[in-house]
């Protein structure tokens, strides 16, 4: 297959936090070929345009464009003449910067005339002056431009002006956010008129388009706009300029510039793959979570062992060369790692007893590693003893380790047999596997995770949910893949007082805050756990009253749910979900037993406020073991 050459990449300085030198440094460190210099970043920089030019040269960055030049076209005199003078001044700046391209965005001025022929005449004059200095101009229709707000209108003016130094700038946000597309572009606009391309994604929001654009843009792949088909249309029309990211986003402005810049380049790599320009190693086929690993020391390991014993787990093995135990119930494997001098030990020092890794079962771990490397995610390879299997891992954006184990290899010979002395015995066999692993995410990190799970693993984010905790809002988004074999809800809270917020501050960072185990029948599994004195979370009577009213459940069923501390949900298609929670272990993470039936795909979000309030009441106590008596 003949893959056309990769196009140069660029990022607008407005995407990144910091001063202009910080932004340039971050763009270069991520590996961008160039930048868009945003005028505001130049105005606030304490140095000359020549200094900026030299900085960029030293960093190996091209200045792809200078922008924006506002409210230029179709003004009555004397503003028309003044605007042409203003343009000459900016041409001086461009020449000092060493860039030849200026972006002019469509006017929002109250006095702009609704006359395309006037706009075209002005652009012709401006382009003529630019051409005298070897400069070029591109015209961008802002979605909120007063008279010009669609690319076809901008094209009409560019065509009418008919000057070789004048072309179009297309911005995916301004086209896609108002619901427009590039249909007809290839047939109407010759490739040499496609001067510049800006790429931005965004969530679908119902608000005015200006606010949407100025605060909520995202990198391609982080939002919901069809950016890949947009790029495909431009490439089909013959565009050969840079792929440039232009993201106005409040969280990006506040985040570390290197992380954001790197996400930006990852998003472009992913986008190029979508349009067949970057042949990355293919997406993995995921078939579930093979194990969850906890960082513990000896004392915490013993306590955690006792805790999971109440959910029917038993110690099923000890590692051949390391201080690591395998605990198992049915299809769930928990690894308790207290090996000094390991990734787990490092995690334990920073976070205390907590989940330090998860292992995804995939078709080909080494292909995932190669894909991760192509996307600049970091790889982890643990040292191993003789004869033990090496399990590669990749670091999630918060540093959490995701191990990759081969599905076929696991089926041929469970990894546990190579690395562990397995101990004979019977567990309760009440659990089928990991239904979901929920993570608390530091504010500002959600979009990095969206890109990580989507670009590397092909997991699709679900609709965002708002969950009211007694002390603030928790925003939740679930990533689902592998035909439902893997489900990863991510929770974020601006408030430090919510359960999620406290978790993030208590464990000095983010991570897995609960793990839900799938059972064929939650009631049976919970009954067995209760018999082992599992610390189940108490659910108030009011909840069951309301449940009866909402779903019309029979009294006996309600009584049974209440007795077992089970929560219940039903979707529109009649699918049902039953689930019960434990109290938190050391105020850090908690466990859940769930069963789904009738194709239910959610997480019982409607019950989350009840759970969060119960946990707030419960605090850190281990809870009343056993079942509730209903008097």
Ligand X SMILES: O=C(O)c1ccc(O)c(O)c1
Residue ranges at the known binding site for Mg(2+): 436, 514, 592
DSSP helix, strand, coil percent of the chain (3-state; round to 5): 40, 25, 35
- Extract the annotated binding site: 140, 171, 198, 246, 436, 514, 592
198 vs 430 by CB, closer to Mg ion:
198
Contact 32, 260 (CB under 8 A): no
Which ranges in 237-364 belong to alpha helices (H)? 250-254, 257-274, 298-309, 343-351
Instruction: Identify which range of 164-172, 328-336, 401-409, 580-588 contacts Mg ion by CB under 5 A.
Output: 164-172
In terms of DSSP bridges, do strands 392-395 and 401-406 run parallel, antiparallel, or are they unpaired?
Answer: antiparallel
Least spacing, CB of residue 129 vs ligand X, in Å: 21
Least spacing, CB of residue 214 vs ligand X, in Å: 5
102 vs 539 by CB, closer to ligand X:
102
**Which positions from 84 to 113 touch ligand X by CB under 6 A, shown as an x/- string?**
-------------------x-x--------
**Which positions from 225 to 264 touch ligand X by CB under 6 A, shown as an x/- string?**
---------------------x------------------
64 vs 402 by CB, closer to Mg ion:
64
174 vs 351 by CB, closer to Mg ion:
174
- Residue 68 touches ligand X, criterion: CB under 6 A: yes
Instruction: Identify which range of 144-152, 193-201, 225-233, 362-370 contacts Mg ion by CB under 5 A.
Output: 193-201
Count of residues that bind Mg ion according to CB under 5 A: 3
162's CB contacts (< 8 A; 6+ apart) are: 124
Q: Which of 89, 126, 125, 85 is nearest to 104 (CA)?
A: 126
Count of residues that bind ligand X according to CB under 6 A: 11
Least spacing, CB of residue 79 vs ligand X, in Å: 19
Q: Residues 571, 575, 580, 581: is their CA dihedral positive or negative?
A: negative
171 vs 201 by CB, closer to Mg ion:
171
What distance in Å separates the CA atoms of residue 198 and residue 585, rounded to the nearest whole number? 48
> DSSP state, 249?
B
**Which positions from 135 to 174 touch ligand X by CB under 6 A, shown as an x/- string?**
-----x-x----------------------------x---
Restricting to residues 235-254, which ones interact with Mg ion according to CB under 5 A?
A: 246
The residue whose Cβ lies closest to ligand X is 68
Give Cα separations from 302 to 299, 344, 451, 481 (angstroms): 5, 16, 37, 34
User: Which run of H or of E encompasses 201?
Assistant: none
- What are the backbone dihedrals phi and psi of residue 148, each rounded to the nearest 5 degrees, phi first? -115, 110
Q: Which does 411 bind (CB under 5 to 8 A by kind): ligand X, Mg ion, none?
A: none
What distance in Å separates the CA atoms of residue 344 and residue 476, rounded to the nearest whole number? 27
145 vs 406 by CB, closer to Mg ion:
145
What distance in Å separates the CA atoms of residue 365 and residue 388, rounded to the nearest whole number? 16
Q: Which of 213, 231, 244 is nearest to 101 (CA)?
A: 244
Q: For tokens 């406020």, name the residue.
A: 609
Q: Which does 213 bind (CB under 5 to 8 A by kind): ligand X, Mg ion, none?
A: ligand X
- Residue 214 touches ligand X, criterion: CB under 6 A: yes
Least spacing, CB of residue 137 vs ligand X, in Å: 13
CA 78 to chain centre: 49
Contact 286, 303 (CB under 8 A): no
- Residue 171 touches Mg ion, criterion: CB under 5 A: yes
Least spacing, CB of residue 195 vs ligand X, in Å: 13
Restricting to residues 171-190, which ones interact with ligand X according to CB under 6 A?
A: 171
- Extract the annotated binding site for a divalent metal cation: 140, 171, 198, 246
What distance in Å separates the CA atoms of residue 118 and residue 125, rounded to the nearest whole number? 11
In the sheet with 401-406, reading across from the earlier edge strand, the strands are: 379-381, 392-395, 401-406, 354-362, 286-295, 332-337, 324-329, 314-319, 420-422
Among 13, 198, 354, 400, binds Mg ion (CB under 5 A): 198
By CB under 6 A, name the binding residues for ligand X.
67-68, 103, 105, 140, 142, 171, 198, 213-214, 246
By CB under 5 A, name the binding residues for Mg ion.
171, 198, 246
């Amino acid at each position: 297959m003949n893959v056309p050459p990769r196009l140069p990449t660029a990022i607008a300085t407005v995407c990144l936090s910091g001063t202009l030198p910080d932004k340039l440094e971050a763009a270069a460190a991520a590996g961008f070929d160039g930048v868009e210099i945003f005028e505001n970043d130049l105005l606030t920089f304490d140095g000359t345009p020549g200094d900026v030019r030299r900085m960029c040269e030293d960093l190996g960055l091209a200045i792809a464009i200078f922008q924006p030049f506002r409210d230029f076209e179709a003004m009555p005199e004397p503003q028309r003449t003044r605007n042409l003078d203003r343009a000459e001044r900016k041409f001086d700046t461009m020449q000092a910067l060493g860039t030849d391209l200026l972006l002019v965005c469509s006017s929002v001025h109250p006095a702009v005339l609704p006359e395309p022929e006037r706009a075209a005449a002005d652009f012709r004059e401006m382009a003529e002056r630019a051409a005298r200095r070897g400069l070029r101009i591109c015209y961008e229709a802002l979605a909120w431009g007063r008279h010009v707000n669609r690319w076809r209108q901008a094209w009409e003016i560019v065509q009418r002006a008919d000057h070789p130094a004048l072309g179009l700038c297309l911005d995916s946000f301004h086209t896609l956010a108002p619901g427009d597309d590039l249909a007809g572009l290839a047939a109407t606009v010759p490739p040499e008129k496609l001067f510049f391309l800006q790429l931005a994604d965004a969530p679908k929001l119902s608000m005015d388009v200006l606010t949407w654009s100025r605060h909520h843009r995202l990198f391609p792949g982080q939002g919901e706009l069809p950016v890949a088909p947009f790029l495909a249309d431009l490439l089909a029309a013959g565009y050969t300029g840079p792929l440039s990211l232009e993201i106005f986003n409040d969280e990006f402005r506040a985040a570390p510039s290197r992380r954001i810049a790197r996400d930006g380049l990852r998003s472009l790599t992913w986008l190029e793959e979508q349009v067949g320009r970057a042949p990355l190693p293919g997406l993995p086929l995921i078939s579930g979570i093979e194990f969850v690993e906890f960082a513990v020391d000896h004392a915490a390991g013993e306590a955690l062992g006792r805790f999971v014993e109440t959910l029917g787990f038993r110690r099923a093995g000890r590692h051949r060369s390391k201080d690591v135990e395998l605990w198992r119930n049915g299809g769930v494997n928990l690894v308790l790692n207290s090996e000094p001098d390991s990734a787990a030990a490092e995690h334990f020092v920073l976070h205390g007893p907590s989940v330090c890794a998860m292992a995804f079962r995939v078709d080909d771990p080494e292909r995932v590693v190669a894909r991760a490397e192509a996307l600049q995610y970091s790889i982890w390879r643990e040292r191993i003893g003789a004869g033990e299997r090496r399990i590669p891992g990749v670091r999630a954006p918060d540093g959490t380790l995701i191990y990759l184990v081969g599905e076929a290899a696991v089926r041929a010979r469970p990894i546990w047999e190579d690395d562990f002395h397995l101990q004979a015995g019977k567990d309760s066999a009440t659990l089928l596997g990991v239904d979901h692993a929920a993570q608390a995410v530091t504010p500002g990190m959600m979009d990095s995770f969206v890109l990580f799970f989507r670009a590397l693993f092909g997991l699709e984010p679900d609709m965002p949910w708002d969950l009211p905790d007694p002390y603030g809002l928790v925003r939740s988004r679930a990533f689902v893949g592998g035909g439902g074999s893997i489900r990863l809800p991510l929770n974020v809270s601006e408030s430090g007082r919510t359960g999620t917020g406290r978790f993030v501050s208590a464990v000095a960072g983010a991570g897995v805050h609960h793990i839900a185990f799938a059972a064929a029948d939650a009631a049976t599994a919970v009954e067995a756990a209760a018999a082992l004195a599992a610390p189940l979370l108490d659910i108030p009577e009011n909840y069951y009253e309301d449940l009866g009213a909402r779903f019309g459940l029979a009294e006996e069923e309600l009584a049974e749910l209440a007795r077992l501390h089970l929560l219940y949900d039903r979707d529109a298609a009649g699918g049902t979900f039953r689930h019960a929670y434990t109290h938190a272990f050391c105020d850090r993470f908690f466990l859940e037993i769930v069963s789904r039936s009738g194709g239910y795909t959610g997480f019982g979000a409607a019950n989350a406020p009840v759970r969060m309030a119960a946990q707030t009441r419960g605090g850190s106590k281990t809870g009343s073991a056993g079942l509730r008596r209903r008097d």
